[in-house]
Structure 1
C-alpha cells in the first residue's frame, strides 16, 4: 500500500465514555493516525444506531407487497439505491476502509446487540456477499479486519480445559461466520482478559501493547481458513469438502480448522494465535 492513503474504520460499541473499551478505541485512533492512517469511527451508542431490521430499511414500496422478505428486498434496494440513509453511510465507510477494527466488550460470548445489529443491517446481500462470492472469494477480500475485545473471564477460563471453553471455538462464529464469510483477511484478535480485575498499571500495559501492535498491523499474516478451492462450491455438491481434501488430511492428528475438524482434534490456535 506504499503511496496510498491508508483508511481504517473502527466500529465501536460501548455505552460509557469512561470505560476501558473507550480508552482502547482512543488508543487505536492515536496509534493509527501516528503511523499515517486516516481513521473513521462509528461510535454506535453515540450515533444511537438503529440495530433493528425492518421494512424501514428500504425506501419506497417492497417488490412483494404481500410477503416481505428482508434479504431479497434489501438486495434489490441496494442495487437500485433505495436503502435507508443510515445503512448507506455505514456502507460507504466500509468501502473506503483498508482495515476494520471492531472494538467491544464480549457480552454473552458475542457482540453487543447494537453491534450485531450493525452487522445485520450493513453487511447486506449483494453489497457484502453472494453465494457466488463468499469466504476467500468474498467482496472484502482486499480488506483486513480484527476483533478487539474485553472479557469478564480470565484467559484460563477460555482455555481448552477452562469452564468457558476454548476461545478458538467461541470466536469461530464471529471470525469465520461474519468476517471471513464476507471475504475479510481476518487478523488474530486482540483480547484484553478481564481488565475489570486488573490494576491501573496492568491496564496501561494492555493499552500500550495494543498501540504498538497497530503500528505494524499491515505486516501481520491473517488467520488461516480452509480455502474455497478445497470445497465443491456448488449447490449440487452441497458446498462440502472435496474427497481429495479429506484424503490429504487422513493421516493428520488434527482436523483442518475449528469448523472443518472432520471429527478430529482441533488444530491449536486456529482462531487466536495467542491462545494458551
Structure 2
C-alpha cells in the first residue's frame, strides 16, 4: 500500500512523535511505501485568505468558488498542489494529532480547509448528475485512519462517559470530512491517559499501533450510510424506516 502520514504535533520528542516513528518503521517492515507531511515542520500556512487568490475579482471573496477556479486552472499554491499530489498517490491516509479541545490542532483544520477544495475533494458530479459525496466523493477508494492521543482515561469516553463517545466526538472528521469526500473512515486508534502514560503503557500503545497498521488494508471501515444509497430522502433526511425512534449522529451508521 501507499500511505500518506499527516502529522500535526509541534514536538517530535512527544508521545505522538514516538508513535509516528514506530508507525513508519512498521510500514517499512510491512513493505508499504509512505510519505510524510509534518505540518509544523513544514511551516504549513493554516489560514485561507486572499493571499491564496492573487487575481481574485475585486469585491467580496467567495472562497469556495475561487478555490475551485484555481484548482481547475492548476494554479493553486505550490504547497497546496504538493499535498493534493500526495493524496492522489496514496491508498490510505493516516491523520495523527493530539486531541485538543475535542478536535485536531488548528494547523490540521487549516490543512483540510486549503487542500480538500471543491473540485478535488468534493463538489464533483456523477454520470447521473448527482453530487458525489458521503461515500462517493473525490477521494473515493482511499482509506483514512485517525491516530490520536487524549489526556483523559478511556472510561470518560465510554458509552456514558462525561466526554462523550469518541467516535461521536470525532464525527465531524470521520463522517463530515473523510466519508463526505469518499474516504472509508476506519475506527480511530487512540492512546488514552497520555499525560500519565507509564513506560509499560507506552509499550502497549506501540504494540497496538503496530497491529492496527498491520491490518490497515483489511480493517472494516465504520459502516456509514451512503447518501445515494436510497436511505435518505430528497431533503437528505434519513427515511423513517431506518433507525426508527432514534436521533443523533448514531443513526448514520
TM-score (norm 2): 0.92
Structure 1: how far apart are the matches of 2:62 and 2:212?
Answer: 43
Q: Residue 69 of structure 2 corresponds to which residue in structure 1?
A: 76
Displacement of 1:90 after TM fit?
0.6
Residue aligned with 2:163, SS? coil
Structure 2: how far apart are the matches of 1:86 and 1:12?
Answer: 16
Structure 1: runs of 5 or more not aligned: 1-5, 262-269, 271-276
Structure 1: how far apart are the matches of 2:194 and 2:243?
Answer: 40
Identify if the C-alpha distance between structure 1 residues 116 and 28 changes in structure 2 by more than 3 Å, giving closer, same or farther.
same
| Aligned-pair Cα RMSD in Å | 1.7
Could you tell me whether the CA contact under 8 Å between 2:146 and 2:188 is conserved in 1?
yes
Structure 1: how far apart are the matches of 2:82 and 2:201?
Answer: 37
Could you tell me whether the CA contact under 8 Å between 2:139 and 2:182 is conserved in 1?
yes
1:89 paired to 2:76: no
Identify if the C-alpha distance between structure 1 residues 65 and 16 changes in structure 2 by more than 3 Å, giving closer, same or farther.
same
Q: Residue 236 of structure 2 corresponds to which residue in structure 1?
A: 239
Divergent runs of 4+, >4 A: none
Q: Residue 27 of structure 1 corresponds to which residue in structure 2?
A: 22
1:199 paired to 2:190: no
Could you tell me whether the CA contact under 8 Å between 2:152 and 2:194 is conserved in 1?
no
Structure 2: how far apart are the matches of 1:248 and 1:214?
Answer: 33
Structure 2: how far apart are the matches of 1:146 and 1:182?
Answer: 14
Structure 1: how far apart are the matches of 2:135 and 2:71?
Answer: 23
Displacement of 1:259 after TM fit?
4.8
Displacement of 1:215 after TM fit?
1.5
Aligned residues: 245
Could you tell me whether the CA contact under 8 Å between 2:140 and 2:181 is conserved in 1?
yes
Could you tell me whether the CA contact under 8 Å between 1:56 and 1:84 is conserved in 2?
no
- Tell me which of 6, 11, 32 is aligned to 1:11: 6
Q: Residue 52 of structure 2 corresponds to which residue in structure 1?
A: 57
Structure 2: how far apart are the matches of 1:248 and 1:161?
Answer: 24
Displacement of 1:35 after TM fit?
1.0
Displacement of 1:254 after TM fit?
5.4
Residue aligned with 1:67, SS? coil
Could you tell me whether the CA contact under 8 Å between 1:8 and 1:99 is conserved in 2?
yes
Residue aligned with 2:71, SS? helix
Residue aligned with 2:109, SS? helix
